[in-house]
Amino acid sequence: MENNVSSKYRKFHLIFRFLKGSKIYFAAAVAASLISTILNALTPQIFRFSIDKVLSGNGGSGGSYLTNHLWTLALMIVAVAVASGIFTYISRTNTAKAGENFAKNLRDTLFIHVQKLPMKWHDRNQTGDIIQRCTSDVEVIRGFVVTQLLEVFRTAFLVITSFVMMFSMNVKLSCIVLLFVPVVAIYSTVFYKLIAKRFTTVDEAEGELSTVVQENATGVRVVRAFGREQFEMERFDEKNEAFAKLWIRLGSLSGLYWGIGDLITGLQVVAVIIFGVMEAVNGYISVGEFIAFAAYNSTLVWPIRGLGRILSDMSKAGVSFERVDYIIHSQEEAYGKSDEKSGKESEEPGGKYDISFQHVSFGYEDGKEVLRDISFTIPQGRTFGILGGTGSGKSTIIQLLSRLYELGENDGSICLGGRKIKDIPIEELRRDIGMVLQEPFLYSRTIRENIAASVPEASMEEIRYAAQIACIDDAIMSFPDGYETLVGERGVTLSGGQKQRIAIARMLLQKAPVMVFDDSLSAVDSQTDYRIRCALKEHMKEATVILISHRVTSLMGADEIMVLNQGGIEECGIHEELIQKNGIYRKIYDIQMSRDDREKMEG
């Protein structure tokens, strides 16, 4: 019970939090809606007066005047209707403003928060489902705030106003109508709970369907290359059919609800007519009062029936609130703390950007270690090579260094310039570490914009200089539009090597003191690889460089090479030392290098 109350409190807190700047619009919408409701409640009273005082001739001299000037009553009804329409317009306009501002604030918060969530969170959540939560679920919540939340206030006030008018005319008939209210409330509550459960299942199924579409769209080249179109179509059809069946079940439940609602409201109208006629015949109620009472009863029928619809929509919004709340309350990355030492230079021997791993162990899943007791040091300005097979932990080392994943308390320590990286603010740490991944991501923008993504204010001269070091300037200038060439989504209009070199230029423009190349030269030929490494050594002498590669030639010039095997350090040393050993490095070297190549490079 306590958790349920807490959940409801969080939902209302979420609404008020994101209505910031729009509360005055929402208050104006509620006030205008209430005034419109009061005006609508006056119309049956005008009819009552017209029938009992004017048409029956019991209104005295005033009644005689109105009998001869019925247009006055008609004008009164029109005036009330016009005034009601004006306030309804004011209500809807302000509701739209409040709702859209609410949705904008919520979308902004979600997008910003998702940027700050750790990689482990992204690993656990599918991209399609995240998109679903940030788009469709936000729209469901917006619809609730814009329509249903206002409807709750309007319905409550309408019911109160109508019953006040009805009890003032006839208590017995009012009590008969009042008996139907708890019946509607009980069955609406039952259906509310059932619909909430089914809508949760439907929403999750839609997230899975979105994931299938997202994966197929981003992996379209792989699908075509391997002839997987039929498989993907069948996979989508399976998810789509399951999604459709869930909606049909939800629609059947809603149909059952409305069918029962028609029966109850029909009985309510019949009861009012039967007992109302009896009351009128016996003289306990006038004809005008009976007609006005019937009008109020008709006015109540739809709001009370709509209670179920409001509850149904509220259940959908409740599910969406929980799905959105899951993102908002997911813990952001630990940004580190600033203390007195954090702003000082390293107090240990060495440079400000020395890198040190001390007894580091790590696993993405509990009980499955990817790294086992890793210890090594990279002095500032040195080039450090890492070689190893698939799954040996090469990329994991870099992900830990940049704090894409966090070490546990007992998993060792990583230092940059003598400072534990946990004590370095993430923005500062990642500003100092430039990374190029094996599969670089390019935006669907121009080549210039892609290179300048790391430093948006960079001049064209700086962009070209970085591209020249990355050996991509000549290729870019050969394009008809040069640096203004539009790159397709994810860089599909470029070759693998061109994408990698543009990503390298983007990182070089960052001018980070620590540069990481995570197998980022795998798609370029050996000659281009050699030219890029020579250019880096010439122009980035002060930078600490980490080279991760499966290609021995890319690592031969490193000041030190570390060979990983099954998460542990197998060998360490320079190229000349490692080829003298009969270890993994030598075996890889022998496989990759032909005899002529070895004689050429060793001679």
72 pLDDT exceeds 80?
no
Give the alpha-carbon dihedral of 329, 335, 338, 339, to 10 degrees.
90
Across 471-491, b (16+ Cβ under 10 Å) vs e yields bbbebbeeeeeebebebeebb
Lowest mean pLDDT among 288-292, 339-343, 512-516: 339-343
Q: Going by C-beta distance under 8 Å and a sequence separation of 6 or more, which residues neighbour residue 549? A: 385, 386, 387, 517, 519, 521, 522, 555
179 pLDDT exceeds 90?
no
Q: What is the pLDDT of residue 422?
A: 86
Calpha distance 339→526 (Å, rounded): 46
Are 285 and 279 in contact by the 8 Å Cβ rule? The answer is yes
What does the pLDDT look like over 541-593, one tens digit per residue?
778 889 888 878 888 888 999 999 888 899 999 998 888 888 888 888 888 87
372 phi and psi, to 5 degrees? Answer: -130, 105
Q: Going by C-beta distance under 8 Å and a sequence separation of 6 or more, which residues neighbour residue 137? A: 203, 320, 323, 324
Q: What is the pLDDT of residue 414?
A: 92
**HEC string for 327-373:** HHCCCCCCCCCCCCCCCCCCCCCCCCCCEEEEEEEECCECCECCEEE
Q: What is the pLDDT of residue 350?
A: 46
Q: What is the pLDDT of residue 168?
A: 84
Q: Which of 103, 2, 150 is nearest to 324 (CA)?
A: 103
Q: How many CB atoms lie within 10 A of CB 600?
A: 10
Calpha distance 511→105 (Å, rounded): 35
Q: Which of 438, 351, 435, 361 is nearest to 398 (CA)?
A: 435
Task: Tell me the average pLDDT of the chain.
Answer: 80
Q: What is the pLDDT of residue 334?
A: 64
Q: What is the pLDDT of residue 5?
A: 45
2 pLDDT exceeds 50?
no
Calpha distance 408→424 (Å, rounded): 16
Q: What is the pLDDT of residue 378?
A: 92
106 phi and psi, to 5 degrees? Answer: -70, -45
Distance between terminal CA atoms of the chain?
80
349 pLDDT exceeds 60?
no
CATH number of 355-602: 3.40.50.300
- Percent of the chain scored above 90 by pLDDT? 6
Q: What is the mean pLDDT of residues 66-82?
A: 74
Q: What is the pLDDT of residue 588?
A: 86
Calpha distance 376→359 (Å, rounded): 9
What does the pLDDT look like over 189-215, one tens digit per residue?
777 777 767 777 887 787 778 777 877
pLDDT band at residue 187 using 50, 70 and 90 as cut-offs: confident
Query: Helix, strand or coil for residue 310?
Result: helix
Tokens for 232, please give them: 């993907």
Q: What is the pLDDT of residue 595?
A: 45
Which amino acid is residue 408, in one-letter code? G
Q: What is the pLDDT of residue 351?
A: 56
Calpha distance 506→405 (Å, rounded): 23
Q: Vertex 23, ends 19 and 26: CA angle to 5°?
A: 105
Q: What is the pLDDT of residue 376?
A: 92
Q: What is the pLDDT of residue 342?
A: 40
pLDDT band at residue 377 using 50, 70 and 90 as cut-offs: very high
Q: Which of 154, 151, 155 is nearest to 143 (CA)?
A: 151
Q: Which of 541, 459, 545 is nearest to 504 (CA)?
A: 545
> Structurally, what CATH architecture does the domain formed by 18-328 represent?
Up-down Bundle (1.20)
Q: What is the mean pLDDT of residues 412-422?
A: 89
More confident site: 5 or 118: 118
More confident site: 539 or 173: 173
What does the pLDDT look like over 103-151, one tens digit per residue?
888 888 898 888 888 888 887 887 778 888 888 888 888 888 877 777 7
Tokens for 83, please give them: 């005034």
Tokens for 256, please give them: 């059952």
Calpha distance 440→503 (Å, rounded): 6
What does the pLDDT look like over 18-65, one tens digit per residue?
877 788 888 898 899 889 888 888 888 877 777 766 655 555 444 555
pLDDT band at residue 86 using 50, 70 and 90 as cut-offs: very high
Tokens for 393, please give them: 């932990």
Strand order across the beta sheet in which 355-362 lies = 371-378, 355-362, 413-416, 419-420
Residue with tokens 């991944």: 437
Q: What is the pLDDT of residue 417?
A: 86
Q: Going by C-beta distance under 8 Å and a sequence separation of 6 or more, which residues neighbour residue 178? A: 163
Give the alpha-carbon dihedral of 440, 446, 447, 451, to 10 degrees.
-70
Calpha distance 372→359 (Å, rounded): 8
Angle, to 10 degrees, between the axis of helix 70-115 and the axis of helix 287-328?
10
343 pLDDT exceeds 80?
no
Domain extents for the chain? 18-328, 355-602
How many whole angstroms from its chain centre is CA 120? 16
Long-range contacts (CB closer than 8 Å, 24 or more residues apart) made by 534-541? 535/468, 535/469, 535/470, 535/471, 536/469, 537/383, 539/469, 540/469, 540/508, 540/515, 541/381
**Is the pTM value of this prediction over 0.75?**
no
Q: Going by C-beta distance under 8 Å and a sequence separation of 6 or more, which residues neighbour residue 422? A: 334, 336, 403, 406, 407
Are 320 and 202 in contact by the 8 Å Cβ rule? The answer is no
Which amino acid is residue 420, in one-letter code? K
Q: Vertex 101, ends 95 and 107: CA angle to 5°?
A: 130
Q: What is the pLDDT of residue 217?
A: 73
